[in-house]
Amino acid sequence: MRTRAEIEAAEMEMIERIWYDRSRTSDDGETTAIEIVPEIMAKREEVEKRYGKDSLEPMSDFDWGMLNGKLSALRWVIGDEWDNLDT
């Protein structure tokens, strides 16, 4: 069985990958406040360095589903409810 630290590291990776994809698009039509754009870009660069930009762009519907399924399963293993996909 994996250690709790390994599970939590995998959970953080899924969260960061989901956040990265969401940071590239705004499906709800909201505009990002201009004052936080530099912060978002800096975080995106950090995530790109950690996982490699090529592995982050773009996701197919299948990839998106797998990523969210992994996040839900990892959270369930550490005691959360099923289907918690808050990021």
* Rounded Cα gap, residues 31 and 61, in angstroms: 24
Residue 32 has pLDDT above 80, yes or no: no
Question: pLDDT band for position 9 (50/70/90)?
Answer: very high
Residue 69 has pLDDT above 80, yes or no: yes
Burial class (CB in 10 A: 0-12, 13-18, 19+), 54: exposed
Higher pLDDT, 37 or 77: 77
* Rounded Cα gap, residues 27 and 11, in angstroms: 24
What pLDDT, on the 0 to 100 scale, is given for residue 29?
55
Q: Say what the pTM is.
A: 0.81
